[in-house]
Every structure is written in C-alpha cells, then in structure tokens.
Structure 1
Amino acid sequence: MSSPTPEPSPPTPAQPPAGAAWEATQVLPRPAPGRGNALPTGAHLAEFELLRVLGEGGFGIVYLAHDHSLQRRVAIKEYMPSTLAMRSGPLDVVVTADKHQPVFDAGLDSFINEARLLAQFDHPSLLKVYRFWRANGTAYMVMPFYEGATLKDTLRQMGSPPDERWLTALLASLTEALAVIHAEHCLHRDIAPDNVLLLADSGRPLLLDFGAARQVIGDATQALTAILKPGYAPVEQYAEVPSLKQGPWTDIYALCAVIYAAVMGSKPPVSVARTVSDSCVPLVEAAAGRYSPRFLQAIDAGLSVRPDGRPQSVQEFRQALGIDDLPAGAAPMPARPAPAPGPAARPAAGAAAPLAPLPMPRTGGLPRPVLLGGVGAAVLLLAGLAFWAGQRQQPAATAAPAAVGAAAPAPAPAAVPATTAQPVNLSIQGEFDRLLQARSADFDVQARANAPKLRIGKDRLGFKVTSSRDGHVYVLVGGPDGSLLLLYPNAMASDNRIRAGQTLALPQSSWPLDTSEPAGPEHFAVIVSEHPRDFSHLSKQQVAWFLSLPTGAAGSALANGHAGPGSVMAGKARCNTAGCDRYGAALFSVDVVN
C-alpha cells in the first residue's frame, strides 16, 4: 500500500526552513537498556521535549511533553506496534522482519488517517489533535494533555448508581460528540467506561481512544474487525455477516451498554452469547421505579442484539431519550462525586490509548484476530457467535413517556405470571471431565501451560502438548464469558498431526494470541486422536480463525442428546470400524488477570 503524501507542518508552529523538515530532530540521551521501545526523558521530537512516558501499549507509546514553541504541556502519541517493529538507534523505528513491512505500513497509514480525522473535529467532548507528522520511520500525533478520572473509576467511587439526571447529562454530551463523527461517516467502535474521561476542571465527558475510529464508506470497512470489549461490543463487530453491517447503531449499542453498566453495576452479557440465549434482563424490568420508563426503554432499544432493532442514528436515539425536548440548562454537566482516598486523576492519554488497528491480511475469508487489542492486547475472540436464535424484535414501548430528569414513581404491582423453568446452560467443565473419562488408557497425553496466570494486555498464551502415540491434536477452550471454541486446528493451522514423543508448542507463530478481557479462568481440553475428528455437525460458525461451538441452552441440549460415552464436544472420529474412536486427553487451566 502506498503511503499518502506527508502532511505539511500545522498552522500553529512555524514552518521549518527550506531543506529542513520535522524529520530533522535530535535526541539528547539514548534509550536506557531494558526500557523497551519508549524514548527516554529529555528526548526531543521537533519542538517537543519529552517529560515522561504516560503509557505504552501494543500499538504505540504516549508521552507527556513540553512544547517549547508555545510553552505548554501536550501529549504525544508515537506509532509503535510492538509486535511488528522495534527501536533502531535513538529515534528510528524499523520492522522486526521484512514480512511485517506491508502490515506496518498499513497501520501507519491508519494512524495518520486517525490523526487527520481527529484534527477535523471540533467538539468539547472529542479529542483534539494539534498536529501530526511522519519522521524516523514512524509517525507522531500531538494532542492536549487532559486530566481527569475515567467514567469507570468515577462509577466505582460512587456509593450507588447515578441518577437519571446525571446519566442524561452524560448522554447529552456524548451523543453530541458521536453526531459530529457520524456526520463525517466515521465510527468510534470502542466506547466503554474506561474510554470516557470526566475532565477534572468541568466534569465534561471526553471520548478517548479513537484507535477504532475509521472512515466508513459503503461496505469497504466491513472486512475490518475493530477493537472489541466484551459486553460493550455489539454482535456485528465480531464477524463478517452481510446482514450485520456496522453503522451509527454500533456506537449506540456500546453507549447503551455503558449506561446499563452504570445502572446495574455490571456490564451486559457478551453480545454474541445473547444471540444464542439472551440472559440480559431489560432495564425496564431490572431498574423499574428508579428511572423513568422512557429512559429505560430508550436504553433497552439501544441494546437490541439485532442492529435493525436499535435506533439507527444518534438523532433518533436522542429523540427516544427526550434529550432534544429538554429546556436549555435542563441537562447540566455531571457533577463530580467526592473522590475516594487515593489518586483520582488520570491523564487522557495516560493509559496508552490504542492506536488505529492494523488492517490484517486476509486468510480463508476470516478476519485475523491478532494485533487487534487496545493496550498491547491481541483479541482472542472467546465469544460464541453460534447461530442466530431468538430473532424476535424488541417489543414496542407502550408506556407513556415520562419526564426525563426525575425518576418515575414505582408502578403498581402487577400480577406475577407463572414462573417457567429456565433452560439449563452447558457445563463446559462437566463436558471436559466426561471427555477426559472416556480417553483410552494406553494413550497418554500431557498438556501444560507455560504460565499459570496471564496478565491482560501483557502476556501471550502458550502451552505444550506431548503424546505417547501418533495422532491428531484438537484443543478446546472455554472462556470466562461462557464461550467454547475449537482453538486448534483452525483456519491458520490445518495440519494438526503429532508424532509419538514429540512436544508441540501452541499457539504457533502464525497465529499468536495475546491475553485480553474478560478476566477469569480459561479451561483447556486437549485431545490427541488416532483418527481425524469431525466437529461440523456441532457448528459451522466461525469466530475469526476458530470454530465456535454451541454453549448455553443449545449446547446443553446437544450434550443431553449425546448417547455415546464421553462428551459430544469431542466431535466424531472419522472411522467406521468398531472401537476405532481411540484418543488420549489432558486438561489444564490458566487464570486471566488484570
């Protein structure tokens, strides 16, 4: 991909003399050994002197800097995808291998496009970019240095859920900001409580982490998977399905998930799990009496699993909330709660905001699930986008709209309907135990993780498999979110044979998996089968590179209908003779921690 013409210097700083460019920068000290790719304190980039590192993630590094031209503090974001590139000399950035150059260049173009987009926007709830430029084999973006507390931290400090007036004020500002970027055919794609900053001086919310912001023209971007936060990302961000296109409704879902988390104290269930068995209790039921019916109905509509069940534009969503009907001053900025003991401020760029995700090479029609994480985390899509179930639309709102700004009185008690038995969800650990019990006694398999704990955004999954016999390796993983994937073989690795006595290290270099949310235990079942096994009767749904197996009530129904020994999730051996289904198995677990 060709690179766009380098941007001219911005209007604020003076242009460099003829023959000079911002590339002609210098650094005073060299990076200290062991400090990674971050530039040291005292380094100079053009007119900016670096004061300290605010954050370092998988796609870039954010510095606090002093602008010597305008005598002000700024934040500088440097494009530095750590899995593709490294520091060479005091300033230069180079790829770690020639094969990474096309992907690195594509990410660099995306970084510049992100900066260009942000520079166009002018709204108090959107990040502002002062200028950006290419130099030293990479690029830089200069922004204001914001201070405040994230919405995530603010909600944690509150003793109880915020009231409707506070949430409406929050939504008024954030929906205004979204309307600005949507008007330019852009999406945020990463709205979450930790990506909203409440400014220290005014309490105004500021949308952070436009790493997923992307120009959307027609269907061009449907091939890209954005940064995903389970619980906040809608279903259309998980897989490429022509009927599930992304649009303003994508950001509306995430914003409503944020409000749901504020009201309920926990985020909604993962959207892809809701396609199988929707366990998300509507707010009109869960929060009745604490907020007006109109407010709750609007949030529930925005949380519809189906994109066409949500408001299709920010304006439609604001109308549902009644924000545009409020008199001037009726929705003030949210008041800051009293801070809990300890630090309550966080710089806007201080957590290594994710840069624009890299457009990954295509393999077998599936989006590549690595290098998608925000803070150095590659997204392992442990979510079961199995089959589309429960396609019924959200029921139309029938309650008369109540005034926004004061919670409606509790409704009179209604007749309690007869309770119905809730479907029993699949026990993944139970299936793994049954799988292990049915293994062949003379087929020894050992599997062990490289580390018992994996830190989100820092560690990479790794484990080893050995077998006493030749066979075919299959790895199942049950995630903290209740999903179940066939991790190996996959679209990137179809040759799953192992020799007797061989130690197989997984994942392989062609499909590395870094640790990402959600936190919790991940359970693995490893099968080494004498014959190849077939899982196609269980599911045909792919999530990125991996086959997604049914969970919840659907998975439980399959398990209950399994008549043979072992687990239905072990698949079927491709052989026809009696007693040919011989395999060895091993189980292990790792804890995913923050």
Structure 2
Amino acid sequence: MSSSAEQNRDSLASGVVIDCYSIIKLIGSGGFSLIYLAEDEDSLDHVVIKEYLPKKLAVRDSSGEVQISGDAQRDAFHNGRKLFYQEAKALAMLRHPNIVNVRTFFLANNTAYLVMDYEHGKNLGSYVKKRNGGLSTTFLLTVFPAVLDALNLIHSEGHLHLDIKPSNIHLRPGGNPLLLDFGAVHQFATTRSRQSSQVVTPGFAPVEQYYSSGYVGPWSDVYAIGATMRSCIEGKPPPSAIERHAKDSMKPIASLYKKQYPAFLLEVIDWAMEVDPLLRPQNAGIMLDALTQQQGRPENNQQPKLETADNLFTENNQK
C-alpha cells in the first residue's frame, strides 16, 4: 500500500505517545486494524502495536480520537472493539515459543490497542514470493511442526486462529517461526453467524469459513496450514475452497511433486486440504504427529476419536 493511501487511513503520526509507547512508524494495515512499530519509553525496547481501526466503520479526528463514521456503524464498531479486546486478552494468556508474545493491551483514543514483542526476521509470504516457491523439505519440516505445535496449544485452550496464511507466519533467524495476527481468534464450537466481521482469504480459508452456517473447528485451521505448505512448494495460493467445492480440479500435490519431496510430507498436505472437513486431520496435534512421525496419511483415514459436536449429539441421543 502506498504512503498516500496509508495517510488516508488516518494513522498515528511518528512521535505520538499512547500509554507509554512512542510511535515510530506505520508498518502494516488490514481491513480492521493498523500496525505500528513503536518504542517503550521506559525500557527503550521496540514493540509492535496493533490498533483497532476498521476502515469501513471509523475515522480519526484531528485530536487523535477514533470517531465512528455514523449511527448505522455504531453497533458494528462497538462489537468489533469488544471482540478485539477479548481476543487480545485470550492471546495474552497463550505462552508458547512460536506464538507472538503479548505485553499488554489497553483502551485509548476511543479504541483498543494490543502491544506485542518486536522480533527480527522476515515474513513467510514475502519469502515464498521472492523464492517463487520450491522451498526445501528441510525448511518445511523446520517451520511447520513448530507452527502446528503452537496451533495445538491454541486448539487445546478452546480457540481457533481462522486466518492462517503465509503472511501471518514470521520467520526469525534460523527459520524459527512465529504465528502472527490473532485478529480472527475465536472460541470454537460455533457457527460463522457470530463472526460476520471475519475476512476470508481465498486459497487458504476452507469452505466452511465462507458460510454463516459453516461449522468451523480445529479442522478449519488444519486446512489453512495445508494450503500454506502447498504454497511454499508451488509459489502461489491454491485455488479457493469455493471453486474446489463446486468442481475440484486441483491435482493432488502427492502426484505433482513425488520426485522432489518425500511421500509422507505430500500426503499430509493433501490430507489437510480435503474439501470435506470430516476427511481432514481433525486438529493440529493429529497433523503434527503425521508429520513428525513421517507417517503420511493413515489408511482408511482412521484417526483418534474426537469429541466433535456430531459425536456428542449422537451419544446424547443414545442415552
């Protein structure tokens, strides 16, 4: 995004202090937030600050306060800010070496802020684009088991990420990954109807994320991990899940790259990217085991039995 376009988003100016953080510069933006590099005035550490500022709902006035665009946007803005704050709180409680560390979160300027550690490194999305895919087996088996382990913790705490893609994985020196951008984190066992503000990324989001009635769960994040791994090999996003749901013409990666990568690795990617959620690994832990134990896809798709809503419904009706 160009600097002039960024200025139209009313970003905080360099030198502005919020709480005890001095803004250095804007480093990113999305549909619902602006992201800054800043300095902690007490410790002089560099930090990353995420500010809730949905571009369709609010603007910043000359005093720095965030103002809702109009009465029609009021409820959506307040609900979104409440979610942003709840998600910040949830993320702050997750401690894992491959999950970005949240220092604090607070309300100011009529909006909400999330303060995270600043980490040196590069973005996986940029790296894939620069290399045009073709990332090595060693690279994939360094980065993705660590990301899956982080995701397994998120799932075990009853949360979903729901926006995993290459640009939300940060590579620290040595390829040590960090899972970023938990703006979409939600409690699971829910439908999409309460998550209307969620942005779906074509190619990485599974089919159930496109529909308000879609039953999202850990299996939804698993699809996105598979799609991210496939993009590391092919250098481009896979076809959208909506296209695949209508007519799946995407060739299995296990047949396309069998000479370049081990079979177990390619099988796990194809397994994770099944259009039907019931055919995928049902959580990050199952996918992690298949990768680290080099098992590939189990025969007949057998997996450990999970307490899914469908299982519970059936069991309750039998009692």
User: Smaller-chain TM-score range?
Assistant: 0.7 to 0.9
1:312 aligns with one of 279, 282, 293? 282
- Which SS does the other structure have where 1:197 is aligned? strand
Is the counterpart of residue 140 in structure 1 residue 113 in structure 2? Answer: yes
Aligned partners of 1:90, 1:256: CA distance in 2, in Å?
A: 45
- Cα shift at 1:306: 0.0
- Cα shift at 1:106: 0.3
For 1:445-502, what per-residue CA distance to the aligned partner results, in whole angstroms no more than 9, with x for missing partners? xxxxxxxxxxxxxxxxxxxxxxxxxxxxxxxxxxxxxxxxxxxxxxxxxxxxxxxxxx
Is the counterpart of residue 229 in structure 1 residue 193 in structure 2? Answer: no
| AA matched with 1:124 | P
Q: What root-mean-square deviation, in Å, do the aligned CA atoms of Structure 1 and Structure 2 show?
A: 2.2
| AA matched with 1:185 | G
Corresponding residue for residue 293 of structure 1:
263
Corresponding residue for residue 89 of structure 2:
116
- Which SS does the other structure have where 1:156 is aligned? helix
CA contact (8 A) 2:192 2:215 kept: no
Corresponding residue for residue 172 of structure 1:
145
- Cα shift at 1:397: 4.4
Aligned partners of 1:161, 1:106: CA distance in 2, in Å?
A: 42
Is the counterpart of residue 197 in structure 1 residue 167 in structure 2? Answer: no
Is the counterpart of residue 97 in structure 1 residue 57 in structure 2? Answer: no
Task: Return closer, same or farther for 1:143/1:284 CA change in 2, 3 Å cut-off.
Answer: same
CA contact (8 A) 1:297 1:397 kept: no
| AA matched with 2:260 | R
Unaligned runs of 5+ in 2: 1-6, 301-319
Corresponding residue for residue 303 of structure 1:
273
CA contact (8 A) 2:132 2:234 kept: no
Task: Return closer, same or farther for 1:266/1:82 CA change in 2, 3 Å cut-off.
Answer: closer
Corresponding residue for residue 160 of structure 2:
187
Corresponding residue for residue 81 of structure 1:
54
Is the counterpart of residue 255 in structure 1 residue 232 in structure 2? Answer: no
Unaligned runs of 5+ in 1: 1-33, 327-394, 399-594
Task: Return closer, same or farther for 1:93/1:160 CA change in 2, 3 Å cut-off.
Answer: closer
For 1:527-585, what per-residue CA distance to the aligned partner results, in whole angstroms no more than 9, with x for missing partners? xxxxxxxxxxxxxxxxxxxxxxxxxxxxxxxxxxxxxxxxxxxxxxxxxxxxxxxxxxx
CA contact (8 A) 1:38 1:56 kept: no
TM-score by length of 2: 0.85
Corresponding residue for residue 212 of structure 2:
240
CA contact (8 A) 2:17 2:23 kept: yes
CA contact (8 A) 2:202 2:240 kept: yes
TM-score by length of 1: 0.47
CA contact (8 A) 2:13 2:25 kept: yes
| AA matched with 1:111 | F
2:179 aligns with one of 186, 204, 207? 207
- Which SS does the other structure have where 1:130 is aligned? strand
| AA matched with 2:195 | L
Larger relative helix fraction? 2
Task: Return closer, same or farther for 1:72/1:138 CA change in 2, 3 Å cut-off.
Answer: same
CA contact (8 A) 1:75 1:142 kept: yes
- Cα shift at 1:324: 4.9
- Cα shift at 1:266: 2.8
- Cα shift at 1:250: 0.4
CA contact (8 A) 1:189 1:227 kept: no
Higher-Rg member (1/2): 1
CA contact (8 A) 1:94 1:137 kept: yes
For 1:241-265, what per-residue CA distance to the aligned partner results, in whole angstroms no more than 9, with x for missing partners? 4xx4111110110110111112233
- Which SS does the other structure have where 1:210 is aligned? coil
Aligned partners of 2:18, 2:266: CA distance in 1, in Å?
A: 49
| 1:48-447 map, 5 Å | 48-158=21-131, 161-199=134-172, 201-216=173-188, 218-219=189-190, 221-225=192-196, 226-241=198-213, 244-321=214-291, 323-324=292-293, 397=299
- Which SS does the other structure have where 1:211 is aligned? coil
Aligned length in residues: 292
Task: Return closer, same or farther for 1:240/1:77 CA change in 2, 3 Å cut-off.
Answer: closer
CA contact (8 A) 2:219 2:280 kept: yes
- Cα shift at 1:160: 6.2
Aligned partners of 1:158, 1:278: CA distance in 2, in Å?
A: 27
Flag the structure with more relative contact order, 1 or 2, with Cα contacts below 8 A and sequence separation at least 6. Answer: 1
For 1:315-346, what per-residue CA distance to the aligned partner results, in whole angstroms no more than 9, with x for missing partners? 2112222x1579xxxxxxxxxxxxxxxxxxxx
